[in-house]
Amino acid sequence: MLHLDTHQPVFRALADPTRRAILKLLSKAPLRVNDIAEHFEMTRPAVAKHLDILEHAQLIATEKKGRERLNHLTPAPLAQAADWLSFFDHFWDQRLADLKTAVETSYDRDENR
């Protein structure tokens, strides 16, 4: 029996290009919602919804500083998702090895003509 994937919120968050762009912005510095909204053609509430999804996935954290709320990247879940994805590396490794063999075989045949 398969168990529910604990990485589902992370992959849900990463599935959206806007959220991936927000993560890139936050990788440079913590930002307020308004600062993030300036980079997109969407309303502040729309950006806030994206931030909620990122926060639910624990990809960002919000810190209160006086009246402001700063959003900053928390990269640990990204590493966990990368670890999960690395399970599938052997599929690509085999395909790349097969491609290398095919190219070398083709090259050897062309040289022997």
The pLDDT tens digits of the residues spanning 64-82 come to: 988 999 999 999 999 888 8
**Among 1.10.10.10, 1.10.357.140, 1.20.1080.10, 1.10.357.20, what is the CATH number of 8-86?**
1.10.10.10
74 contact partners, CB below 8 Å, separation of at least 6:
58, 59, 60, 61
Phi, psi of 85 (to 5 degrees): -65, -30
pLDDT of 28: 97
| pLDDT at position 113 | 65
- Contact of 36 with 25, CB cutoff 8 Å: yes
**C-alpha span between 33 and 47 (Å, rounded):** 7
Global confidence as pTM: 0.74
The percent of residues above 90 in pLDDT, for the chain, comes to 59
